[in-house]
Amino acid sequence: MKTVVTEADVRRHLDAQARPPGSLGRIEDLAVRLALIQQRAPPRAERTTLLLFAADHGLTQDGVSRYPAEVTQAMVATLLAGRATANAFARAVGARVVVIDAGVNADLPSHPGLVEAKVRKGSRNAAREPAMTLDEVNLALRRGHEQAQAAIDAGADVLALGEMGIGNSASAALLMHRLAPAPLADCVGVGAGHDAAGLANKHAVLAHAAARSDATEPLEVLRQFGGLEIAMMAGAIHAAADRGMPVLVDGFICTAAALAAVRLRPETRAACLFAHRSAEAGHDRMLKALEAEPLLDLSLRLGEGTGALLAAPLLRAAAALLSDVAGLDDVLAGRL
């Protein structure tokens, strides 16, 4: 019979170490979370894989982003060349990066670092019509699930989520509005960097989109307002939970995916570790809706999984706390 790892057992182990009980604060809590998610004591956190999902959004047709949609394709090329910020951070923390085409609005050339999982070339314009069909939402969820399963089977101890998609903060704001729920005005931020006029237009476009549908059921909200990369990240979270795998959730867009995943399957919340509190308006409120306390608060708002990568060493440290620190009784008895 498999032994069940309990919080009480892990806490007793931590309290018996050669240091004052509770002296490592939230790192101790993180060690407990890892052990409970993986049902291993000590847990493993050496190998982090960043699943970076890329897709375009029809909402960009109405100017919700400062940048044109073509930037998504250009940034995917940059990621595959190893020259994006996510690549630099991944090298710094020893993480693997997998770039997944969830729905880029282009025919991308094949590349050994690119996974072709495209559902369609970008979502539709949610200000005018549903962003996806129900079949497309379910396919995106399934393909995200498959990508997470593949990363776990390849040896990942921890999954990190990231995204690339011009316009995706607009989609995430709409998801937050309906699934948190929260007033739309509290969900909309500058994204990649709007000026005052651009932000005013973003508010107006998203108000028009929200007025188009009164959806509140999670799958229907994803159909009406979601993005292909957001739906795939939700599917990846479901897979992580199914496999007892901790998943590091990045910033505003990834947290919207986590919100959708949890609203669809509440039990999957236990697998989510929230990497950081973004500077994007609304993120703190969305974290509160998920009863989440992030590991870092660095005023980040880039995306690409950068915050999740920066948090990965904290998980390694927390796992090492359970595997490498001597007990006080052993220290006193000279059994080192």
CA pair distance 9, 16, nearest whole angstrom: 11
Are the C-beta atoms of residues 166 and 72 closer than 8 Å to each other?
yes
Which of 28, 136, 229, 304 does the annotation list as catalytic? 304
d(CA 14, CA 258): 30
Distance of CA 204 to the CA centre of its chain: 27
28 catalytic per annotation: no
Instruction: Show which residues are catalytic.
Output: 304
